[in-house]
Amino acid sequence: MAEIIIATKNAGKAKEFERMFKPLGHKVKTLLDFPEIADVEETGTTFEGNAILKAEAVSQLLDRIVIADDSGLAIDALEGRPGIYSARYSGAEKNDEANMDKVLNEMQDVPDAKRQARFHCALAVAIPGEQTYTVHGICEGEILREKQGSYGFGYDPIFFCTAKGKAMAELEPEEKSQISHRANALRKLEEDLATLFSGEERP
């Protein structure tokens, strides 16, 4: 079973990656397993740019293939916000509840017909000595008027997932892992994974 390193400190993402990589025969390690690695500053202007920054920084430190995820919620009525600032929308402390409250507040007067939004996920693959590349996945939906459900993380309770007809936080982890922006991005990497990690088998 190959071991894949994902450059994230987000426990919600970490769990989702573990679940998605398991059937592909890969074990996941994240930065939660490497507490000595400092936060990488997300100074990029796009999801791709930030994913590349995170993947390359950690790949250089560990001299290993590293995948990073930069993701977020883009709301049409808010001109794409919170976008790349999703994690810190309400302040530096990355508080999911406060972030959702801020969005609900800003969306209070937006009519039902204009509440479209989508989650984005950019995955960057940094390979020592090779050019880093990215894939992108999205998941379409609408912003609810109140929080619903308790699964998932981040903005899941206020996001109505069009594909499933439910709040993202009402989906069992297994269901979210089939239709999420993260799953849609990962699907584009699947073919590469077998080749990428064939030389990295661990006992």
Ligand X SMILES: O=P(O)(O)OP(=O)(O)OP(=O)(O)OC[C@H]1O[C@@H](n2cnc3c(O)ncnc32)[C@H](O)[C@@H]1O
* List of residues contacting ligand X (CB under 6 A): 8-10, 13, 42, 69-73, 86-87, 99, 119, 152-156, 180, 182
Task: Give the nearer residue to ligand X in terms of CB position, either 92 or 113.
Answer: 92
Omega cis (within 30) before 157 = no
Is residue 156 a known part of a binding site?
Answer: yes
Residue 147 is labelled as binding a ligand: no
Closest CA to 29 of 46, 49, 4, 12: 4
Minimum CB–partner distance for residue 165 and Mg ion (Å): 30
Tell me which residue of 3, 2, 21 sits closest to 13, measured CA to CA: 21
Residue spans of alpha helices (H) in 8-155 = 11-21, 47-62, 96-106
Choose between 2 and 161: whose C-beta lies nearer to ligand X: 161
Q: Is 129 helix (H, G, I), strand (E, B) or coil?
A: coil
CB 153 within 8 A of CB 77: no
> Could you say which of ligand X, Mg ion, none residue 153 binds, taking C-beta under 5 to 8 angstroms by partner kind?
ligand X
Site for Mg ion in 157-176 (CB under 5 A): none
Contact partner, 157, from Mg ion, ligand X, none, Cβ < 5-8 Å per class: none
Is 181 annotated to bind a ligand? Reply is yes
In one-letter notation, the amino acid at residue 145 is: R
Q: Which two tokens stand for residue 98?
A: 């406060």
Q: Print the binding letters for residues 64-93 with Mg ion: x by CB under 5 A, - otherwise.
A: -----------------------x------
Is 164 annotated as belonging to a binding site? no
Q: How many CA atoms lie within 13 A of 11 on its CB side?
A: 3
The distance of closest approach from Cβ of residue 46 to Mg ion in the complex, given in angstroms and rounded to an integer, is 14
In the complex, which residues of this chain contact Mg ion (CB under 5 A)? 87
